[in-house]
Structure 1
Amino acid sequence: MSKEFVTESIEFLENDFELVGEENLTNIDRIYASQSYWKDVLSRLKKNKGAILGLICIILITFMAVVGVWMNGHTYDSQTIAHQNLAPRIPLIENIGIFDGGEKMNTSQGAIEVNKYVSANGSKTGLEDTYYWFGTDVLGRDIFTRTWMGTRISLYIALIAVAIDMIFGLSYGLISGYFGGAVDNVMQRFAEILNGIPSLVIVTLLIIVLRPGLLTITFSLMITGWIGMNRIARAQMLKLKEQEFVLASRTLGAKSLFIIFKEILPNILGAIITNTMFSIPNAIFTEAFLAFIGLGVPAPMASLGSLISDAFKSFTTHPYMIVAPVIVLAILMLSFNMLADGVRDAFDPKMKEM
């Protein structure tokens, strides 16, 4: 028995079918443009508000250190005995009752309000048109100008610390770790001997040979300031020198210095830059401490440490003298620490979780 099959043409419309579970479909993957390692680091650094704030503060302090010395017509070493111990006085702001040259002084009869810019009986003092934005010290020198001159010293120390770390400490640690064996043993024992000598002893001995000043502080940093960078560079070298890319370069006949500075160094720049950033505030504090105990730059040159030391002697009678250098030093060190912390997180985001 035969059956006849009739084939009919069936036309399907667009709305005849619908996908089951369409609302549960996953999103389509998107392809993002790749970016380099350094762009990725910069992107993470920009998202760190603390690091950006620290960088802005460093830029502003550096700008003031450059131009602040010339802003009010006074020099850092000019002495005017008639202007000694004048409280801060700022144009325009004095009209609202602050920074008008007045200060409270504690005497045997109690606290009294004193303003040496004006006379109590109405007679002229010759200081009616005189302004000292941060006041003057016991020798009549402008604290504003001397503060920014002292900031130059701190920034110079920061620059020297970076140069010593990157030039000497980095090379020393990389060479020591790469060659290893007896070379590494001798070099590291020498570094440990230097690190065992207190920096204060080194500075004192240098002062016997040289006179106190920036040269003495620079030499003291050159003697012991590179030890930390040496250890970081050596540790990174020991971790990478047996990697395959180093073995490949050595097999192809690359020289040792080429492998150290062309193959390995680019791979450890993150740790190197991070350690350098953290060494800057330590160097600034070291200089300030040496200046505070009288082993810094000689007078009339000013540094933040020497300004704090001089103002500390008059702290009970004229506390305004110590405020400006302390605030600038604190902001400078805090800004470098915040920037260093942000740089560390940008190079290695996992460090933030530790």
Structure 2
Amino acid sequence: MNNTEYEYSPQDFELAGNDHENYIDENYASQSYWKDILSRFKKNKGALVGLVFIALIVIMAAVGPGMNEHTYDSQIISHQNLAPRIPGIESFGVFDGTETMGTSTGTIVVNKYKSNPSLEKTYYWFGTDVLGRDIFTRTWTGTQISLYIAFIAVAVDMLFGMSYGLISGYFGGTVDMLMQRFVEVLNGIPTLVLVTLLIIVLKPGLGTITLALAITGWIGMSRIARAQVLKLKEQEFILASKTLGARDFFIIFKDILPNIFGQLIIMSMFSIPNAIFTEAFLAFVGLGVPQPMASLGSLISDAFKSFTTHPYMIVFPVVVLAVIMLSFNLLADGLRDAFDPKMKEM
């Protein structure tokens, strides 16, 4: 057995890494809760695209109706059924006022601008309808109504639905039971039936639709708020506030609400496309704003009657409505991932 002894000197060893770099702690800059949310939101390309399109639509809804000399209710019978014509682009053979019409004998290509000398310098960017009204102006006027409905949906959700759910979930017991039975009864009434009854009693118009949405549009938000309160009201920080003598409404709106505000924002964003679609559907079936006022739903309803002969009339309102709903859905999806990144993995 070899009993050779080895002697080691400090030069026989070498530290891993240079200048002790592996032993230096790294410090990461801390950031606030809202900055963290904003950072995650910026990484969601779909949400950013939705936000950009929403901004563009809001701008066009504000300035679009004033971009030409026409108004939403001005009629020029001699200009009826004119196809889209855009200056500058017409030289490329696109949007030059030419349309293909289907007849009983086949299809024909028509350009009413060239056949009528008085229309030589006339341009309608989205064309005109059967009454000679400018579809461009009416489309952006209808977009204003859709955005108004979106604002009403958020306001009703955040002011009434949120408060109703917070109070119901926090107090519980008999208060919760009575408030939830009322919600169930109200939710059992179909929106279409409710709007029809309101139109019979009240004057048809945007106010009636707003009232109908305000009556039932907050129910989903109230249920989300109540569910969140039921999860939080027995937490230690709530019990600590009660022990220190905080009043009930102080706890509801100062302790609980800030902890669930993100989920409520997400819910309100998802409710916007539903409210816009409801207004468009009601307008499509004839329960919307009265003529000559225009909404995207009424424009689609009117253009649907001429779809086989003049399909361009329905294209632009449908595209704008689809972009609005898709953009708000993308924005809501991005906010959900930003506020709760765990949801993205599910």
Scaled by the length of structure 2, what TM-score is found?
0.95
Secondary structure in 2 aligned to 1:350?
helix
2:341 is the alignment partner of 1:349:
yes
Q: 1:119-158 alignment to 2 at 5 Å?
A: 119=115, 125-158=117-150
When structure 1 is superposed on structure 2, of 307-316 and 206-215 the one drifting more is 206-215
2:232 is the alignment partner of 1:212:
no
Deviation at 1:108, TM superposition (A): 2.4
Q: Could you tell me which residue of structure 1 aligns to residue 92 of structure 2?
A: 96
Deviations 1:44-83 (A, max 9, x none): 0000000000000000000000000000211110000000
2:52 is the alignment partner of 1:60:
no
CA distance in 2, matches of 1:28, 1:196: 64
Deviations 1:285-338 (A, max 9, x none): 000000000000000000000000000000000000000000000000000000
CA distance in 2, matches of 1:54, 1:254: 42
CA distance in 1, matches of 2:175, 2:17: 69
Q: Of the candidates 237, 240, 264, which is equivalent to residue 245 of structure 1?
A: 237
Q: What is the identity percentage for the equivalent residue pairs of Structure 1 and Structure 2?
A: 74
Q: Which amino acid aligns with 2:14?
A: L
Q: Of the candidates 22, 40, 45, which is equivalent to residue 44 of structure 1?
A: 40
CA distance in 2, matches of 1:142, 1:18: 86
CA distance in 2, matches of 1:135, 1:77: 15
When structure 1 is superposed on structure 2, of 280-289 and 103-112 the one drifting more is 103-112
CA distance in 2, matches of 1:320, 1:115: 14
Q: Which amino acid aligns with 1:257?
A: F
Q: Could you tell me which residue of structure 1 aligns to residue 14 of structure 2?
A: 19
Deviation at 1:251, TM superposition (A): 1.2
Q: Of the candidates 328, 336, 343, which is equivalent to residue 336 of structure 1?
A: 328
Secondary structure in 1 aligned to 2:114?
coil
CA distance in 2, matches of 1:266, 1:17: 61
Q: Could you tell me which residue of structure 1 aligns to residue 78 of structure 2?
A: 82
Secondary structure in 2 aligned to 1:126?
helix
CA distance in 1, matches of 2:249, 2:283: 40
CA distance in 2, matches of 1:108, 1:247: 78
Deviation at 1:125, TM superposition (A): 2.7
List runs of 5+ in structure 2 lacking aligned partners.
1-8
Secondary structure in 2 aligned to 1:277?
helix
CA distance in 2, matches of 1:287, 1:63: 21
List runs of 5+ in structure 1 lacking aligned partners.
1-11
Q: Could you tell me which residue of structure 2 aligns to residue 309 of structure 1?
A: 301
Secondary structure in 2 aligned to 1:139?
coil
Rg larger in structure: 1
Deviations 1:208-229 (A, max 9, x none): 1111111111111111100000
2:149 is the alignment partner of 1:115:
no
Q: Could you tell me which residue of structure 2 aligns to residue 73 of structure 1?
A: 69
Q: Could you tell me which residue of structure 1 aligns to residue 3 of structure 2?
A: none
- Equivalenced residue count is 337
Q: Of the candidates 224, 237, 253, which is equivalent to residue 216 of structure 2?
A: 224
Deviations 1:243-290 (A, max 9, x none): 111111111111111110011100001110110110000000000000
Deviations 1:172-231 (A, max 9, x none): 000000100000000000001000100000000000111111111111111110000000
CA distance in 1, matches of 2:77, 2:118: 13
Secondary structure in 1 aligned to 2:107?
strand
CA distance in 2, matches of 1:164, 1:20: 66
Q: Which amino acid aligns with 2:246?
A: A
When structure 1 is superposed on structure 2, of 25-34 and 285-294 the one drifting more is 25-34
Q: Which amino acid aligns with 1:243?
A: Q
Q: Which amino acid aligns with 2:106?
A: G
Q: 1:177-326 alignment to 2 at 5 Å?
A: 177-326=169-318
Q: Which amino acid aligns with 1:258?
A: F
CA distance in 2, matches of 1:21, 1:264: 51
Deviation at 1:27, TM superposition (A): 6.8
CA distance in 2, matches of 1:326, 1:308: 7
Deviation at 1:16, TM superposition (A): 5.3
Deviation at 1:351, TM superposition (A): 0.2
Deviation at 1:29, TM superposition (A): 3.1
**Aligned CA-pair RMSD:** 1.6
Deviations 1:125-176 (A, max 9, x none): 3000100000000000000000000000000000000000000000000000
